[in-house]
Structure 1
Amino acid sequence: MESSISVESALLKTRTMSNSYIKLLQKRHFLLCDVLPFVGFIFAIACLWGKPISVVDITVFLGMWFLTSVGITVGYHRYFTHRAFQAHPIIRILLVILGSTGAEGPVLSWVANHRHHHRYSDEIGDTHSPHLHGTSWRNQLYGFWHAHLWWKVEYDYPNPLYYAPELLRDKTIYKLNQLYFVWVILGLVLPAIVAFLITRTWIGAWHGFLWGGVIRLYLGQQTTWCINSICHLFGTRSFDTKDKSTNNLWLALPTFGESWHNNHHAFQNSAKFGLQWWQIDIGYWVIVALQYLGLASDVNQPTPEMMQSKKVRSL
């Protein structure tokens, strides 16, 4: 047993990297892309307090929420991380750009992190498990905070050379990855431009920036982080998995289906997370639409036999 643990520890070190430069980059990203959006959200609420919400405000907010969510769940997660379907080259490019507007990290880092998470899910080595910090209520509360956000301050960085070599070799994806902060800024500026073109006023552009840019960015991040925290703590389990992933109905709509997390951990390469007819999965509906348009193919999903074999057995 001790020998197997030592071997696994050695392998873990080859799969992750940690040095002063990486830690500096992590802290910088945390401040710019996690703390600053919170400050911006508070500022935006203060600026908009007492002002009526217009149709344009709602339109740019929902439009950008949709685009960013598609970039994260369809692009970063289902396509690039799990290769759950094949996509047209133009769609590949758009998915990197749209996913980057969520400011959750460049696609190479996101993919490496998530593949690492699946390898060690809720075990030693998982960068954002809520279950590795003790059993007292204080430790469990810290575990929630760690899984939701705090893990991003500093962690052993999953090596993209190990976890995402095919993306590193893709010159187009690599270049788009290098332009990550350009796409983040685009996600803030685009709704302002759209709102200006609709309203023809600078105040309209300002509101578009606040609603479709700042507020959308912060709330979108929160929904994604809930998958790491809430969906490993609270909810139901339909399938036997080695981790403690759960399904959560209440988060299904804002996360575009990501909260069917136990389903996902049971069938990681499935493009479809909502495996029951009533399980809302907007991300999968987008993939089906792309398939209908000839822009996606080879869409994976589990067979009824596969699902039955992993069903949780009642005692």
Structure 2
Amino acid sequence: MATRSDVIEDAPEGAPGSTTTPTPAPSATLGGEQKRSVEQITLLLFIAVPFLAMVAAVPLAWGWGVSWLDLGLLVFFYYLGCHGITIGFHRYFTHGSFKAKRPLRIALAVAGSMAVEGPLVRWVADHRKHHKFSDAEGDPHSPWRYGETVPALMKGLWWAHMGWMFDEEQTSQEKYAPDLIKDPALRAVSRQFILFTALSLFLPALVGGLVTMSWWGAFTAFFWGSLVRVALLHHVTWSINSICHAVGKRPFKSRDRSGNVWWLAVLSCGESWHNLHHADPTSARHGVLRGQVDSSARLIRWFEQLGWASDVRWPSKERIAARRTVEAEVADAG
């Protein structure tokens, strides 16, 4: 893959927390530039245990059934974490798609942490590096890493989906996320990732136990609202790295292979309209065409109307038109 250097800045314009104060060492956040063995083992457990629960979910639902309470907890905590990632970690902290008042900023950092996808600063640094070298040499998780033959792509899809997370960390947090490291509150949220992970896993069980007043209710709530929910959210999020960089329609001009995958739109909270995102990374809305559901953009609009968010980078018709491919323009004309 060819190296790219003519791409986005390490800390994009409008990113939250930009100051000129000295940058603390990366050790101030959880997750430095190299993964230790204990981190890799912990990562394996956080991936394997929820995945096994998701595999067991079908026969268990068939045999025991699943209560409306368990489904409600699954859906609520799923979309809490999903929007924490899509609005908070991604559109706000990574790309600066809008400005947020401090309470909203902290709330988005906590909600994203409860998705159990890694510490805030590491997540943002990895994603900014991904955009800098998207589908080229240096991209942490391109499915085209090994080539374009079918065997190479199969290997690359595995790498992009989850294999890259077990590799020794390559992303410099000081280089790619200095604005977040300089913010004491965000640094603290990132450092306390394990605490928010425990909270994310414990709360469904607590609610289930209190509502049913039984240990069985707590267990089933933990199974569905914690384990199955985390596994589902993990694989939907990782599919944006793998599937959305291998297949999908590409109506907008981008310098990579990002595509729109419609059947992931609702579960990914609008992130699977990935082609527009890579064509216009700072846009607060990813689903810009008719019928493209983007719940993250809708929530950002509500935050703006409530006065919690400002300077939102909504895409104009002219900006969208300027990024259309020739093929898309011909299709529109026809």
Q: Aligned partners of 2:237, 2:105: CA distance in 1, in Å?
A: 21
Query: 2:208 touches 2:218 (CA, 8 Å); kept in 1?
Result: yes
Q: Which of 74, 90, 110 is the matching residue for 2:123?
A: 110
State the 1:149 CA deviation. 0.9
Q: Aligned partners of 2:171, 2:38: CA distance in 1, in Å?
A: 14
CA RMSD of aligned residues (A): 2.3
- Change in 2 beyond 3 A, CA 1:52/1:262: same
Q: Which of 131, 147, 153 is the matching residue for 1:134?
A: 147
Query: 1:127 touches 1:155 (CA, 8 Å); kept in 2?
Result: no
Name the structure with the higher helix share: 1
Matches within 5 A, 1:1-315: 22-24=35-37, 27-42=40-55, 50-314=63-327
State the 1:97 CA deviation. 1.4
State the 1:166 CA deviation. 0.9
- Where structure 1 has 5 or more consecutive residues not aligned to the other structure, the ranges are 13-18
- Deviation string 1:224-267 (CA, Å, 9 cap, x unpaired) is 00000110111100111110000111000000000000010011
Moved more, 164-173 or 44-53: 44-53
- Deviation string 1:78-107 (CA, Å, 9 cap, x unpaired) is 111011011121121121111112221100
Query: 1:257 touches 1:274 (CA, 8 Å); kept in 2?
Result: yes
State the 1:154 CA deviation. 0.5
Amino acid at match of 1:97: V
Amino acid at match of 2:165: K
Report how many aligned residue pairs link the two structures. Answer: 303
State the 1:155 CA deviation. 4.1
Moved more, 296-305 or 265-274: 296-305
State the 1:41 CA deviation. 3.5
Over 6 Å off, 4+ runs: 4-8
Q: Aligned partners of 1:232, 1:116: CA distance in 2, in Å?
A: 15
- Change in 2 beyond 3 A, CA 1:5/1:52: closer
Q: Secondary structure at the match of 1:223?
A: helix
Amino acid at match of 1:252: A
Query: 2:244 touches 2:259 (CA, 8 Å); kept in 1?
Result: yes
Q: Secondary structure at the match of 1:262?
A: helix
- Change in 2 beyond 3 A, CA 1:83/1:5: closer
Identity rate of aligned residues, in percent?
A: 37
| TM-score in terms of structure 2 length | 0.85
Query: 1:44 touches 1:214 (CA, 8 Å); kept in 2?
Result: no
| TM-score in terms of structure 1 length | 0.90
- Where structure 2 has 5 or more consecutive residues not aligned to the other structure, the ranges are 11-31
Q: Aligned partners of 1:57, 1:120: CA distance in 2, in Å?
A: 41
Amino acid at match of 2:259: T
